Amino acid sequence: MNPLNHVAIIMDGNGRWGLKNKNSRNAGHKAGMMDCKNALTESNGDLNAAIDFLRKSGVAKAEKKGSRETKEGLVYSYIHAGGRLGVMIEVNCETDFVAKTDGFVELAHNLAMQIAATNPIALDKNSVSDEIISKEKEIYTEQAKSSGKPDNIIEKMVEGRLAKFYQENCLMEQAYIKDSEKKINDLVTETIATLGENITINRYTRFAVGESDSEN
């Protein structure tokens, strides 16, 4: 494979990052260019490997920001075509500056669309009530027992089905509707790495005409 000699990159987000950190837009662009240059050097000019390197680096940076307080943000509303389905979601970040960026608003929009399409029962695994987990385990155990498998296999079957339950019903565990190769957690992590601030989802509500609160 021939090494990559030239890459064209548009990094408006880096310019905003520079301004937020009391530097010039140009300083932000230079920082982003150095990240790309280092990634290409580490991957010997292989573009796909460089992209993987940048994604892993972004995840590491996002994890370091996970403990930062998120007291700014926005409440975003999404109404599906026809007005019969809607979502309100509060997404938080560290500064009002980032809350107003296109990237942050786009994240809120995509999260609201995800909720409208999939109707998750909880934000993440830790948000699922013990009552629901116990009920699901009971159902899966009875189903597994009917297969006649030994207890150790039944236990693994129940664990597998519970993991699938989380993937289907917890927002952060769900496959992203616009890219099934990534989870919503990955989408949020990538946005944290891009915007340079910790981002959290505080709460959301989904409304549908004809559905009661217990159905949402």
pLDDT tens, position by position, 96-108: 999 999 999 999 9
Structural domain includes residue 7: no
The answer, yes or no, to whether residue 72 has pLDDT greater than 80, is: yes
Structural domain includes residue 4: no
In this structure, are 37 and 134 located in the same domain? no
- Compute the CA torsion angle 133, 136, 140, 145 (nearest 10 deg): 80
**Quick one: pLDDT band at residue 28, thresholds 50, 70, 90?**
very low
In this structure, are 158 and 179 located in the same domain? no
What domain range includes position 163?
A: 129-168
Distance CA 173, CA 162 (A): 12
Structural domain includes residue 111: yes
Instruction: Note if the pTM is more than 0.75.
Output: no
In this structure, are 50 and 21 located in the same domain? yes
In this structure, are 99 and 176 located in the same domain? yes
What are the residues whose beta carbons fall under 8 Å from the beta carbon of 104, sequence distance 6 or more? 73, 74, 91, 93, 98, 191, 195, 199
In this structure, are 174 and 103 located in the same domain? yes
In this structure, are 31 and 103 located in the same domain? no
How many independent structural domains does the chain possess? 3
Structural domain includes residue 33: yes
In this structure, are 17 and 60 located in the same domain? yes
Structural domain includes residue 23: yes
pLDDT attached to residue 168: 97
In this structure, are 86 and 178 located in the same domain? yes
In this structure, are 58 and 24 located in the same domain? yes
**For 43-63, how does the pLDDT look when each residue is reduced to its tens digit (9 = 90+)?**
777 777 766 666 666 555 555
In this structure, are 42 and 141 located in the same domain? no
pLDDT attached to residue 17: 47
